[in-house]
Amino acid sequence: MINKDNSMKKRLTCSALFALTLCLGLNATAQQRQLLDKIVALVDEDVVLMSELNTRMTEIRANAAASNQQLPPAAQFEQEVLDTLILENLQLQMAERVSIRYDDDTINQVLGNMAAGNNMSFDDYVRNLEEQGVYLLTREQVRQQLTIQELQRGMVNSRISVTEQEIDNFLNSEMGREVMAADYLVDHLVVLLDGSEPAEVREEKLRYAADLVARMRDGTALPIVGRQAQTEGLHAVNGSDFGWRKANQLPGIFTDVVAGMAVDDVEGPIEAGNGYHVIQLVDKRGGTEQIVSQTNIRHIMLTPNEIRTEAQTLAEITELRQRILDGEEFAPLARQNSDDATSVVAGGDLDWINKGGMPPEMEEVIDALPENQLSEPFRTQTGWHIAEVLGRRESDVSQQYTRSQAANALRNRKFDLELQNWLIEIREEAFVELVE
């Protein structure tokens, strides 16, 4: 809520801004007023303009017409759109106060994804938007959407708590077991049977299906083998794309088979009433079994700065490497020199890191580095490094992973409700005045 003085100030601001809008429309030569734009709502320290409202309503009407959707009556429709713009305005003001901003490179990446989704190159997509006169508007809409999403994630997630008891209950529930089950991406071929073939023909088709399996196990992807079979024309062969599915959502003859497959494995021929089936597991995600590769490394990092150039930084890290090779202890040198605040106290030790947990350029060096051997200096985005691998292992993180995934699932279930509660709160606490 706001105090009376602040409320009066807002109303005076409203009157002044509205008067300014009318003055801007005054034609000095004809002494006639011409409306350039209009303030339709004061929202805390900002305003919503009639042009914004009209633009958004036009977009929504166009999308509704394209998808054959029915819109509410005109007055209700306009009020709903205005309410949406007010909420967006409030969130953008909050994002500005907490310094949430997206640079042009990020916007370009999103536009690039949008271009790919329309089967267009980035340049062609931009050119198309420019021809429609909406390029700058589209960029701004993307920026605002990213900003609001980031604000909502931060503000709403901070309001959500998930207890250990909730995680236990979820994992023990039927819904929890369903959500936590792995998803499989399966490619599939079937050598068709029509049910009337003599035994020798069925045997020939079985051998042909086995030959297709052998080709895949030799390294040829299933889609290519399927095209080869179509070209050969020896027997009728069909394929299907199941998309991502859980094991119990696949055809029953595949459910138990897929659960025991590793990625790229091929199984078959699997006999069914309509033919001999061949499947390949293209990918797998989720599930409760998680064995990860971990590497224990230590490093020293030096970052170029105002008093140390790139060349000087490389020279210093090279000198530190030589001192270690000459017999000095790694840990004291790391504590005295490293710019990595997260590991300097531990003498440069980063502990055990999961595969994929390092910057790509660093992981590439570490993967090729033998244990207990000091690397050559290498560059990442954060600076120059020397590193040493202290050990490697395979670690079962299934329990931690399962509980983490369950917590995320519960958090996601709570997010929408908490988002609506938060939006209601910020709307009630804001100063909003509609302008006739």
Averaged pLDDT of the chain:
86
For residue 287, the model assigns a pLDDT of 67
Name the domain boundary from 285, 301, 327.
Answer: 285
For residue 386, the model assigns a pLDDT of 96
> pLDDT of 203-215, one tens digit each?
888 888 888 889 8
The burial of 235, by beta-carbon neighbours within 10 Å (0-12 exposed, 13-18 middle, 19 or more buried), is given as middle
Length of the chain: 436
* Residue with tokens 């109303």, as numbered in its chain: 11
- H runs (alpha helix) in 158-296: 164-172, 174-180, 199-217, 222-232, 252-259
Is residue 246 included in any domain, yes or no?
A: yes
For residue 425, the model assigns a pLDDT of 94
Q: Are residues 300 and 362 in the same domain?
A: yes
Q: How confident is the model at residue 81 (pLDDT cuts 50, 70, 90)?
A: very high
Percent pLDDT > 70 in the chain is 90
* Residue with tokens 């309410």, as numbered in its chain: 83
Q: Are residues 263 and 220 in the same domain?
A: yes
For residue 365, the model assigns a pLDDT of 94
Determine the Cα–Cα distance for residues 317 and 301; give it in Å rounded to an integer: 8
Are 435 and 40 contacting, i.e. CB atoms less than 8 angstroms apart? yes
Q: Are residues 261 and 228 in the same domain?
A: yes
> pLDDT of 272-298, one tens digit each?
888 899 888 888 877 666 678 899 999
Q: Are residues 333 and 300 in the same domain?
A: yes
Instruction: Name the strands in the sheet holding 291-302, side by side, starting at the edge strand that comes first in the sequence.
Output: 349-354, 291-302, 383-396, 378-380
Name the domain boundary from 285, 313, 342.
Answer: 285
Are 45 and 10 contacting, i.e. CB atoms less than 8 angstroms apart? no
Average confidence (pLDDT) over 60-88:
92
Closest CA to 386 of 401, 368, 366: 366
Q: How confident is the model at residue 198 (pLDDT cuts 50, 70, 90)?
A: confident
In terms of average pLDDT, the best of 218-222, 232-236, 338-342 is: 338-342
For residue 23, the model assigns a pLDDT of 41
Q: Are residues 318 and 232 in the same domain?
A: no
Average confidence (pLDDT) over 2-14:
41
Are 303 and 382 contacting, i.e. CB atoms less than 8 angstroms apart? yes
Average confidence (pLDDT) over 226-240:
83
Q: Are residues 261 and 303 in the same domain?
A: no
Q: Are residues 275 and 302 in the same domain?
A: no
**Cis preceding linkage at 269, omega within 30:** yes
Number of domains in the chain: 2
Neighbours of 286 (CB within 10 A): 16
Determine the Cα–Cα distance for residues 360 and 382; give it in Å rounded to an integer: 12
**Domain encompassing residue 368:** 291-396
Q: Are residues 275 and 315 in the same domain?
A: no
Q: List phi, psi (to 5°) of 185.
A: -110, 110
Is residue 8 included in any domain, yes or no?
A: no
Are 291 and 394 contacting, i.e. CB atoms less than 8 angstroms apart? yes
Q: Are residues 271 and 231 in the same domain?
A: yes
- In DSSP notation, 90-114 reads HHHHHHHHTT----HHHHHHHHHHH
Name the domain boundary from 285, 305, 324.
Answer: 285
Query: Which CATH number characterizes residue 322's domain?
Result: 3.10.50.40
β-strands 39-43, 349-354: how paired?
A: unpaired
For residue 283, the model assigns a pLDDT of 87
Q: Are residues 187 and 221 in the same domain?
A: yes
Q: Which pair of tokens denotes residue 217?
A: 């196990």
* Residue with tokens 């006739």, as numbered in its chain: 436
In terms of average pLDDT, the best of 3-17, 246-260, 286-300, 307-321 is: 307-321
Q: Are residues 367 and 383 in the same domain?
A: yes
Q: Please indicate whether residue 6 or residue 341 has the higher confidence score (pLDDT).
A: 341
Q: How confident is the model at residue 233 (pLDDT cuts 50, 70, 90)?
A: confident
Q: 3-class SS at 180?
A: helix
Is residue 336 included in any domain, yes or no?
A: yes
Q: Are residues 319 and 378 in the same domain?
A: yes
> pLDDT of 348-383, one tens digit each?
999 999 888 888 899 999 999 999 999 999 999 899
Are 289 and 397 contacting, i.e. CB atoms less than 8 angstroms apart? no
Is residue 273 included in any domain, yes or no?
A: yes
Is residue 77 included in any domain, yes or no?
A: no
